[in-house]
Amino acid sequence: MKTAFRIFGVALLYMIAAAHVGSPDTWFEGKAGAYPVTVQIMPAGVVPGVARVFVRIAGDQPERVTVQANRFDATGGAPPPEVAPRVEGEAGLFAGNLWIMTGGSNSVTVEVTGARGRGSAVVPMVASATRRLEMDVPMGIGLAAMGILLFAGLVTIMGAAVRESTLPPGEAAGTASHRRARNAMLATTVVAAALVFGGWTWWNAEDEGFVDSMFKPLKSQASVRTGPSGAVLHLAIVDSPWVMRGDSAWLSRNRASAWTPLMQDHGKLMHLFLVRNDLSAFAHLHPSSVDSVSFLADLPTLPAGQYRVFADIVHESGFTQTMVSSLNLPTPAAPISKTAATGVFGVAGGVAASASGASQDDSWLAGPVDKQATTATLAGGIAVTWNRPPGPILAGVPAPLQFTVTDRDGGPAQLEQYLGMPGHSVVARDDGSVFVHLHPVGTISMASQMAFAMREPGDTVRGRLGKRIAAAAMPDMAHDSVTSNIVSFPYAFPKPGNYRVWVQVKHQGAILTAAFHATVEDGAERAR
Ligand SMILES: [Cu+2]
């Protein structure tokens, strides 16, 4: 009974990484026809479950907003769209609830209808069981008390029945019936205890099965190797279902489903981030694939120490995930071909010729950060200013991270597209429990958005859709210059704590990285 009570009573909340680490909401900023929309999807954390969808619309207000869930491989058609009613008291905000019935790659279609016509946007989202709901302690105590009462009641009733049920009225029970009653009570206790034990075992098995079914990113391992041009980072995906994904016999034997192949996102198969455990150093690398299990990237000169490794990948199904591992970087022994980041806010993006084919888009930054600073001055006199709204930053409260980039003279800096985006931002919490890679379009992967737009009924051959998406070559990548010197990322910090925010933009061919500190305070309860 005590153990059973402990199982019910212990308040534990499992949060396991999905597409991002510890930052479960999906964000999208873009256009639905003529309407600029910002979409925030709060997943239920369980599947099936109800996701909350918030649609913010700036400017002319539409008459009607609907939201609709689509599974990636929906064959029987999607459920009808749900109307997202206007939220009272908040201008331009619409909110709807959506049942997400199946795990894996899903999308939400937001349709806006009004005076400026009808337009829609497709927001890819990964649905997975990421948490295990626990019974709260008062309810656990209440149920345990009732259980004890029922148990005792059953034993007492059995005893009384054996002792007194056959007695004529008014007569007292004799020693023999007292003994029989005691035996019956003992037997009842044994049988009922066995039933409770059976139930406890069954419940544990169910729970274990559920924990097993929760999403865990593919297991990976990072290590440093020495290549001909210096230190090389090696990342291996060591998860058996991935390594064995071509072996259908192995998969069915181990009841694992086959992963779809990886596809490029912003022209890269993997976006890998190294974050020093104390947040003092950061690198954004693009390892090249050796054999779809091993990935290699030239290591820039980074301070020695313990690093967290976050590797973003996108599957052909539109499923995105962040693999997490750790790495101990030794003091660099040999000079490494890449230019080191300099000063507090260095220019990153040195180019190196190397055996593994270093990516020109790699960038990094090391050094301390002034916790009060909202402006970071980078090499070449470029300044990045965080337009922080006055007042504390509150967890769970949507507030875009907005930055203005100015040149030496204080005028707007002419930015260029960096990996197909006007800017990139990475947000990490000091304990590693939150990691997210943001773009002005939000948390979504452009590749998975394209996967939803371009999928066809015949896409049952693995690798086919990925090829078509690669051939379409990301229309955004073609435009080199960015029209504004302000980059903005839709976001809400998921929980209070100390965070580092890195912002990356490209100016005159160089990738600039600025780092800021953010203390996030406890906000209002998340509206669920
Ligand atoms: Cu990015």
> In angstroms, what is the span from residue 103 Cα to ligand 1's centroid?
25
Q: How far is ligand 1, taken at its centre, from the CA of residue 437, in Å?
A: 6
Distance CA 501, CA 505 (A): 13
Distance 438 CA to ligand 1 centre (A): 6
Taking the centre of ligand 1 as the mean of its atom positions, its distance from the CA of residue 419, in whole angstroms, is 7
Per-residue tens of pLDDT for the chain, all 528 residues: 444 433 333 322 333 334 568 888 889 999 898 999 999 998 887 778 888 999 999 888 899 999 988 876 555 566 788 899 999 888 899 999 988 887 777 888 899 999 989 998 888 887 777 777 778 889 999 999 999 999 999 999 999 898 888 888 888 878 888 898 899 999 999 999 999 999 999 998 888 887 777 778 889 999 998 877 788 899 999 998 888 888 888 888 888 878 888 888 877 889 999 999 999 999 999 998 888 889 999 888 899 999 999 999 988 877 888 999 999 988 764 444 443 333 223 333 333 323 234 457 888 898 888 888 999 988 888 999 999 988 899 999 988 999 999 999 989 998 988 888 889 999 999 999 999 999 998 888 777 777 776 666 666 666 777 777 776 655 544 456 778 899 999 999 999 999 999 999 998 888 899 999 999 999 765 443
What phi, psi does 36 have (nearest 5°)?
-75, 125
Residue 418 CA to ligand 1 centre (angstroms)? 8
How many of the other CB atoms lie within 10 Å of CB of 175? 7
| CA distances (Å), origin 355, targets 271, 287, 297, 341, 359 | 19, 12, 10, 22, 11
Distance (angstroms) between ligand 1 centre and the Cα of 302 equals 20
In which residue are the tokens 């369980």 written? 46
Ligand 1 centroid vs 315 CA: distance in angstroms? 17
Distance 426 CA to ligand 1 centre (A): 8
Report the separation in Å between the CA atom of 216 and the middle of ligand 1, taken as the mean of its atom positions. Answer: 22
CA of 439 to the centre of ligand 1 (A): 6
124 C-alpha to ligand 1 centroid (Å): 16
Strand-pair category, 393-394 with 510-521: parallel
User: How many Å lie between the centroid of ligand 1 and the Cα of residue 226?
Assistant: 27
State the distance from the centre of ligand 1 to the C-alpha of 441, rounded, in angstroms. 10
d(CA 77, CA 276) in angstroms, rounded, equals 46
pTM summary value: 0.76
H-state helical runs in 28-136: none
Question: Ligand 1: distance of its center to the CA of 275 in Å?
Answer: 15
Q: Which residues of 447-458 are buried (b: 16+ CB within 10 A; e: fewer)?
A: bbbbbbeebeee
d(CA 228, CA 468): 35
* Residue 473: predicted pLDDT: 57
How many Å from the N-terminal Cα to the C-terminal Cα in the chain?
Answer: 34
Tell me how far the alpha carbon of residue 276 lies from the centroid of ligand 1, in angstroms: 18
> For residues 86 and 96, is the Cβ–Cβ distance under 8 A?
no
DSSP tag of 170: T
Bond before 48 cis per omega within 30 degrees: yes
CA of 153 from ligand 1 middle (Å) equals 63
CA distances from 194 to 148, 161, 368, 505, 512 (A): 15, 21, 61, 65, 67
Q: Are 281 and 302 in contact (CB under 8 A)?
A: yes
CB atoms within 10 A of CB 406: 17
CA of 281 from ligand 1 middle (Å) equals: 17
CA 425 – ligand 1 centroid, Å: 7
What the block records as the tokens of 277 is 């455990």
CA distances from 301 to 285, 340, 428 (A): 12, 6, 21
DSSP states of 237-276: E--HHHHTTT-HHHHHHTT-PPPPPEE-BTTBS-EEEEEE
CA of 205 to the centre of ligand 1 (A): 41
Expressed in angstroms and rounded, the spacing between residue 427 Cα and the centre of ligand 1 is 11
Q: In this structure, are residues 440 and 484 in contact, taking their beta carbons and an 8 Å threshold?
A: no
Q: How far is the CA of 518 from the centre of ligand 1 (A)?
A: 20
CA of 269 to the centre of ligand 1 (A): 12
Cβ count within 10 A of residue 464? 15
Query: Ligand 1 mean position to 61 CA, how many Å?
Result: 31
Q: What is the pLDDT of residue 216?
A: 80
| Closest of 122, 134, 45 to residue 448, by C-alpha | 122
Side-chain-side CA neighbours of residue 464 (13 Å):
9
203 Cα: distance to centroid of ligand 1 (angstroms): 43
